[in-house]
Amino acid sequence: MTKSSAQLIDQGLLADHNDKLAARVQADYDALGSMLARRGQDIERLTTLAQGFAVAVPSWGAGTGGTRFARFAGRGEPRNVFEKLEDCGVIHQLTQATPAVSLHFPWDKVGDARELRQAGEALGLGFDAVNSNTFSDAVGQEHSYKFGSLTANSAAAREQAIAHNIECIELGRAIGSKALTVWVGDGANFPGQHNLRGALERYLDSMRAIYAALPDDWNVFIEHKLFEPAFYATTIADWGTSFACATELGPKAKCLVDLGHHAPNTNIEMIVARLAQFGKLGGFHFNDSKYGDDDLDSGSINPFQLFLVFNELADAAERDGAAFKPSYMLDQSHNVTDPIESLMSSAVEVQRAYIQSALVDRAALAGHQQGNDALQAAQTLKAAFRTDVGPILAMARIRSGGAADPVAAYRASGYRDRAASARPARAGASSSGIV
Ligand SMILES: [Mn+2]
């Protein structure tokens, strides 16, 4: 298995790609700069912001996902965590927006976690929050999670789940991570299956043991999800339960918002505002959905919602300053696209929403709000959302050493063909999941 940067895309090819597009990008950038200047906006400020933007890539997103019906494997899929890191290295090389990877254990576990850190460093990658998995049974584990993990009736199953989370913290320390994300599928499929209050009491008892194992400079993120696999009553179903548990546990516990884990039409930006207001917004799993937890590419269905989320983040940053620093991570399942292309496009879509939110005239918005001018307030947001900030993102990538057009450069590189040759398919080798 390769642990060097040799698998990244050739710098000469990347330079040729950017040379070909440089004049077009510059012309669009200049035109946008003139337009923004008339609105009192400095394009260079926005480009610097774009260059500083980062969203972490999920290791499990590098493989083709699937549904409960089937998984249609792609060519050259990564067969182990080191190959996943190679793909993540390419995503960051071309977008310059994904400098960290979020790992999932035990899928990404290796004998010596320091090897992961070295492999990441060789590819220019660090590590964001680590994720535990007690929603499926690992090979050889003693107690099944079929009837729950941190909330299980079985004390032995709970102890095993707690120990796994503490092991994740230890693995995370070895790779320089600073947070543990806990999502459990625990819950009930039938009314009466379990005691609703008792299950949450057991969850809190288990989480207290995990919390006690956190290093001083770590956080634990509680990820809520409305339903599935528990279809009647999920223990951590909503942000209210997540907030209550995070509050109960202490200052190192915060809430993680996965955009797909809500009922359709839920006002997610308001949830973001609430969590930010009370200091409990830990981070995000970005994705998009039409009906449920679809795990579609970020910004592919409802880019306006993504923009409105970032508008709340811009407001929180203005109020709270540097102390406000939630983790940004993607969490998607790619069933019909090349995962590298989807992750690159999604990172750019999240970055786009961030820059659009930076375009909002916040003083004007505050004035319209104070004056009860609902129409102009809405138009102020729309003016930012409608602005095509693509030239800013392209210029930011070029200046940072990425690709003017990441997907075009990736396709021209033949990376997937090389991966298909170097990584012959092995049945069941890919451990890609969605959480
Ligand atoms: Mn998630």
Q: Are 133 and 166 in contact (CB under 8 A)?
A: no
Asked whether the predicted pLDDT for residue 3 surpasses 60, the reply is no
Asked whether the predicted pLDDT for residue 378 surpasses 70, the reply is yes
CA of 145 to the centre of ligand 1 (A): 19
Instruction: Tell the burial category of 68 from Cβ atoms under 10 Å away from its Cβ (0-12, 13-18, 19+).
Output: exposed
CA of 364 to the centre of ligand 1 (A): 35
Asked whether residue 196 is domain-assigned, the answer is yes
Dihedral (CA of 195, 148, 170, 8) sign: negative
Give the three-state DSSP class for 284: strand
Reported in sequence order, the residue ranges of 63-170 that DSSP labels E, i.e. its strands, are: 100-102, 126-127, 130-131
CA of 18 to the centre of ligand 1 (A): 34
CA of 48 to the centre of ligand 1 (A): 29
**Residue 427 pLDDT:** 59
pLDDT category at 4 given cuts 50, 70, 90 is very low
CA of 143 to the centre of ligand 1 (A): 24
CA of 146 to the centre of ligand 1 (A): 20
Q: Are 356 and 310 in contact (CB under 8 A)?
A: yes
Asked whether residue 28 is domain-assigned, the answer is yes
Render pLDDT for 115-171 as a digit per residue (tens, 0 to 9).
999 999 999 999 999 999 999 999 999 999 999 999 999 999 999 999 999 999 999
> What's the total number of domains in the chain?
1
**Residue 389 pLDDT:** 98
Q: Rounded mean pLDDT of 416-423? A: 95
Looking at residue 59, the DSSP 8-state letter turns out to be G
CA of 323 to the centre of ligand 1 (A): 24
**Residue 326 pLDDT:** 97
How many Å apart are CA 255 and CA 435, to the nearest integer? 15
Asked whether the predicted pLDDT for residue 374 surpasses 70, the reply is yes
CA of 257 to the centre of ligand 1 (A): 8
Instruction: Name the residue range of residue 343's domain.
Output: 11-422
Render pLDDT for 278-323 as a digit per residue (tens, 0 to 9).
999 999 999 999 999 999 999 999 999 999 999 999 999 999 998 9
Asked whether the predicted pLDDT for residue 1 surpasses 50, the reply is no
C-alpha distances (whole Å) from 157 to each of 14, 115, 150, 227, 263 are: 51, 30, 8, 22, 30
CA of 148 to the centre of ligand 1 (A): 18
Render pLDDT for 57-81 as a digit per residue (tens, 0 to 9).
999 999 999 998 999 999 999 999 9
What does the block give as tokens for 98?
Answer: 């994904």
- Determine how many CB atoms are found less than 10 A away from the CB of residue 103: 27
Q: Residue 253: which region, alpha, beta or left (left: phi > 0; alpha: psi -120 to 50)?
A: beta
CA of 435 to the centre of ligand 1 (A): 4
Q: Which amino acid is at 199?
A: A
Asked whether residue 6 is domain-assigned, the answer is no
Which CATH number characterizes residue 241's domain? 3.20.20.150
CA of 285 to the centre of ligand 1 (A): 5
How many Å apart are CA 181 and CA 129, to the nearest integer? 6
Asked whether the predicted pLDDT for residue 371 surpasses 90, the reply is yes
Asked whether residue 347 is domain-assigned, the answer is yes
What does the block give as tokens for 150?
Answer: 């941190």
Q: Are 284 and 326 in contact (CB under 8 A)?
A: yes
CA of 294 to the centre of ligand 1 (A): 11
**Residue 5 pLDDT:** 43
Q: Are 307 and 259 in contact (CB under 8 A)?
A: no
C-alpha distances (whole Å) from 309 to each of 37, 104, 274, 286 are: 26, 26, 12, 11
Looking at residue 96, the DSSP 8-state letter turns out to be S
CA of 58 to the centre of ligand 1 (A): 10
Asked whether residue 184 is domain-assigned, the answer is yes
Instruction: Tell the burial category of 155 from Cβ atoms under 10 Å away from its Cβ (0-12, 13-18, 19+).
Output: exposed
CA of 366 to the centre of ligand 1 (A): 33
**Residue 253 pLDDT:** 98
Q: Rounded mean pLDDT of 360-372? A: 98
**Residue 2 pLDDT:** 40
From edge to edge, which strands make up the β-sheet containing 100-102? 57-58, 100-102, 126-127
Asked whether residue 5 is domain-assigned, the answer is no
CA dihedral 339, 342, 347, 353 (to 10 degrees): -160
Give the three-state DSSP class for 344: helix
Asked whether residue 20 is domain-assigned, the answer is yes
| Residues 6+ positions from 195 with CB-CB distance below 8 Å | none
CA of 181 to the centre of ligand 1 (A): 9
List the shell of residues around ion ligand 1, using CB closer than 5 Å: 258, 285, 331, 435
How many Å apart are CA 308 and CA 357, to the nearest integer? 8
Asked whether the predicted pLDDT for residue 398 surpasses 60, the reply is yes
Q: Rounded mean pLDDT of 92-117? A: 96
Q: Rounded mean pLDDT of 91-114? A: 96
CA of 224 to the centre of ligand 1 (A): 8
CA of 331 to the centre of ligand 1 (A): 5
CA of 398 to the centre of ligand 1 (A): 31
Asked whether residue 41 is domain-assigned, the answer is yes
Among 104, 166, 110, 167, smallest CA distance to 136 is for: 104
pLDDT category at 425 given cuts 50, 70, 90 is confident
Give me the helix-helix angle, 406-413 and 81-95, nearest 10°. 130
Percent of the chain with pLDDT over 90: 95
CA of 44 to the centre of ligand 1 (A): 34
